[in-house]
């Protein structure tokens, strides 16, 4: 005799009191497990209680519930908040989510008056509001962290405004730049990241409360009062959109993903620059680890982890896009899957930014090694070509060809361009004079890049001052 599948056995689980009289039996254990979100959405407790207090105050103001009941609800919610923050609150899986857990405890504390709190709202507009509030807080925290990283980069850029290094294309030496200029490139990237977060914040700052389940409510509520109390710019304009929209979460994840990619690029450079082959910078012991078998190792693990954690943030964005892509209006239980990727991405980007800020602040620079690397790879070749155009009025394409010939000649001689004899240069192009050697030193090449946004130290110092005004 075969046993029945577990899913067909009768359950003895209790009925969720919040579901009302529609259900005669409680959920199967498996249903309870897949349905419950309290394990992760309890992170919304502060936002949930804040929104509930605003909703309660509005109900009292509109004379939808009695002032006495409103006062009891508000006091009870404060008590629930205190219990949670002091780790004295018992979260119950059978109550599914943070909303029902808070409401059930409120009922234990103040009795039947707690049941009036849910007047003119649904868990649909409730959760949409809570998550918006949480994401808004996460954006503010992320922006502050990114500003700190910009500050660390600007301080390093000011210190190394004249520290010469090779600039790369294709990871091959290209033209000489300054380390300060290089750091300021990341300041600009992060500035765009902050702009994306700010844009997302502006768009999300509409309040879903009052949309109820999907169609609004017949109670004479004041949605503008609730929105203002919660710091929103306005109520969401359409009740269907209000409960089903998760664009704000996607935009947060998108901005986080791009920011994580920028952090990963900087992390990759730190990993390369810490190698003996580059030797441009060093990281302190506090941001490195050793090896269990090789005593000499000092691994840039913090940078590697920043680089690796980028995948989690990118995955969170793709995961939520996939959840949302096929959902009809309005709310579907699929949307429960919005929280974990948002929470994980926020946690991941926060620790990655903090780690990068710490590494940038603490890294040491080997200026001599950077300067020596700038002498490798004929990085002043473009300056030679520009000199031919400027002094000899040569078309650039011809100047490019002449310079390429001289580079090949210098390579064959085993010298850089500045040490190639003038007579040999003149055999390639008779018009070249001794004046050409003035542009072939790395320092002169860097100093000559005075165009706006260029790498000349005078430009870098001015850019640092502007960056402080723009971003800090």
Task: State pLDDT tens for residues 48-63.
Answer: 999 999 999 999 999 9
> What Rg do the C-alpha atoms of the chain give, in angstroms?
31
How many other CB atoms sit within 10 Å of the CB of residue 458? 13
Higher local confidence (pLDDT), 25 or 11: 25
Q: What is the pLDDT of residue 295?
A: 82
Pairing verdict, β 281-282 and 206-207: unpaired
How many other CB atoms sit within 10 Å of the CB of residue 395? 10
16 pLDDT above the threshold of 80: no
Q: Looking at residues 24-41, what average pLDDT do you find?
A: 78
Q: Looking at residues 112-125, what average pLDDT do you find?
A: 97
**Lowest-pLDDT range of 2-16, 310-324, 338-352:** 2-16
Q: What is the pLDDT of residue 29?
A: 76
**Lowest-pLDDT range of 162-166, 296-300, 332-336, 452-456:** 296-300
Determine the Cα–Cα distance for residues 196 and 75; give it in Å rounded to an integer. Answer: 39
Q: What is the pLDDT of residue 4?
A: 41
Share of the chain above pLDDT 70, in %: 94
Q: Looking at residues 365-385, what average pLDDT do you find?
A: 94
How does residue 298 score in pLDDT terms, banded at 50, 70 and 90? confident
How does residue 32 score in pLDDT terms, banded at 50, 70 and 90? confident
Residue pair 95/101 in contact by the 8 Å Cβ criterion: yes
151-187, pLDDT tens digit by residue? 999 999 999 999 999 999 999 999 999 999 999 999 9
Q: Pick left, alpha or beta for residue 215 (phi over 0 → left; psi -120 to 50 → alpha; otherwise beta).
A: alpha
Mean residue pLDDT of the chain comes to 93
24 pLDDT above the threshold of 80: no
Q: What is the pLDDT of residue 8?
A: 38
Determine the Cα–Cα distance for residues 439 and 442; give it in Å rounded to an integer. Answer: 8
Q: Distances from the Cα of 472 to the Cαs of 88, 350, 357, in angstroms?
A: 40, 19, 15
Q: What is the pLDDT of residue 2?
A: 41
Catalytic residues: 170, 291
How does residue 377 score in pLDDT terms, banded at 50, 70 and 90? confident
88-112, pLDDT tens digit by residue? 999 999 999 999 999 999 999 999 9
How does residue 13 score in pLDDT terms, banded at 50, 70 and 90? low
Determine the Cα–Cα distance for residues 456 and 162; give it in Å rounded to an integer. Answer: 8
Q: What is the pLDDT of residue 12?
A: 42
- 308 CB-near residues (< 8 Å, 6+ apart): none
Question: Model-level pTM?
Answer: 0.90
**What's the CA angle centered on 225, arms 219 and 43, to 5 degrees?**
95
Q: What is the pLDDT of residue 335?
A: 94
Determine the Cα–Cα distance for residues 236 and 222; give it in Å rounded to an integer. Answer: 13
Determine the Cα–Cα distance for residues 228 and 207; give it in Å rounded to an integer. Answer: 9
Higher local confidence (pLDDT), 241 or 295: 241
3 pLDDT above the threshold of 80: no
Determine the Cα–Cα distance for residues 29 and 37; give it in Å rounded to an integer. Answer: 14
Q: What is the pLDDT of residue 225?
A: 98
Q: What is the pLDDT of residue 34?
A: 85
- 463 CB-near residues (< 8 Å, 6+ apart): 157, 181, 184, 453
Higher local confidence (pLDDT), 31 or 399: 399
Q: What is the pLDDT of residue 22?
A: 58
Determine the Cα–Cα distance for residues 32 and 370; give it in Å rounded to an integer. Answer: 61
Q: Looking at residues 262-277, what average pLDDT do you find?
A: 97
Pairing verdict, β 281-282 and 364-365: antiparallel
Torsion of CA 336, 341, 344, 345, to 10 degrees: -140
């Amino acid at each position: 005799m075969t046993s029945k599948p577990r899913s067909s056995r009768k359950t003895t689980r209790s009925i969720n009191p919040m579901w009302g009289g529609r259900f005669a039996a409680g959920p199967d254990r498996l249903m309870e497990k897949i349905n419950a979100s309290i394990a992760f959405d309890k992170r919304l407790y502060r936002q949930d209680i804040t929104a509930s207090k605003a909703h309660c105050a509005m109900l009292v103001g509109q004379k939808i519930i009695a002032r006495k009941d409103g006062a009891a609800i508000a006091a009870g919610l404060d008590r629930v908040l205190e219990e949670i923050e002091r780790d004295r609150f018992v979260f119950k899986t059978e109550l599914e989510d943070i909303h029902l857990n808070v409401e059930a405890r409120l009922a234990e504390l103040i009795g039947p008056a707690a049941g009036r709190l849910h007047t003119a709202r649904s868990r649909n507009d409730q959760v949409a509001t809570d998550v918006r509030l949480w994401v808004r807080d996460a954006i503010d925290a992320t922006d502050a962290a990114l500003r700190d990283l910009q500050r660390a980069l600007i301080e390093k850029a000011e210190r190394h405004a004249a520290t010469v290094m090779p600039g790369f294309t294709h990871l091959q030496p290209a033209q000489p730049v300054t380390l300060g200029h290089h750091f300021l490139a990341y300041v600009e990237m992060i500035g765009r990241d902050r702009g994306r977060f700010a844009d997302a914040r502006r768009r999300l700052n509409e309040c879903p409360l009052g949309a109820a389940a999907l169609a609004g409510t017949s109670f004479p509520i004041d949605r503008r009062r609730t929105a203002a109390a919660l710091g929103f710019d306005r109520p969401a304009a359409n009740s269907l959109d209000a409960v089903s929209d998760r664009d704000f979460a996607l935009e947060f994840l998108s901005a986080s993903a791009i920011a994580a990619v920028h952090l990963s690029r900087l992390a990759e450079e730190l990993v390369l620059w810490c190698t003996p082959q580059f030797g441009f910078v060093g990281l302190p012991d506090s941001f490195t680890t050793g090896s269990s078998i090789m005593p000499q190792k000092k691994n840039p693990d913090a940078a590697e982890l920043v680089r690796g954690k980028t995948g989690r943030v990118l995955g969170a964005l793709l995961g939520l896009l996939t959840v949302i892509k096929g959902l009809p209006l309005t709310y579907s239980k699929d949307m429960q899957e919005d929280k974990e990727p948002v929470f994980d991405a926020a946690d991941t980007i926060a620790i990655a930014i903090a780690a990068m800020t710490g590494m940038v602040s603490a890294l040491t620079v080997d200026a001599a090694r950077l300067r020596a690397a700038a002498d490798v790879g004929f990085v002043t070749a473009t300056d030679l070509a520009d000199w031919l155009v400027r002094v000899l009025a040569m078309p650039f394409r011809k100047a490019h060809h002449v310079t390429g010939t001289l580079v090949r000649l210098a390579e064959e001689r085993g010298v850089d361009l500045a040490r190639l004899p003038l007579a040999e240069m003149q055999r390639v192009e008779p018009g070249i004079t001794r004046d050409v050697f003035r542009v072939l030193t790395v320092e002169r090449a860097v100093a000559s890049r005075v165009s706006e946004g260029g790498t000349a130290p005078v430009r870098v110092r001015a850019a640092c001052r502007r960056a402080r005004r723009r971003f800090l």
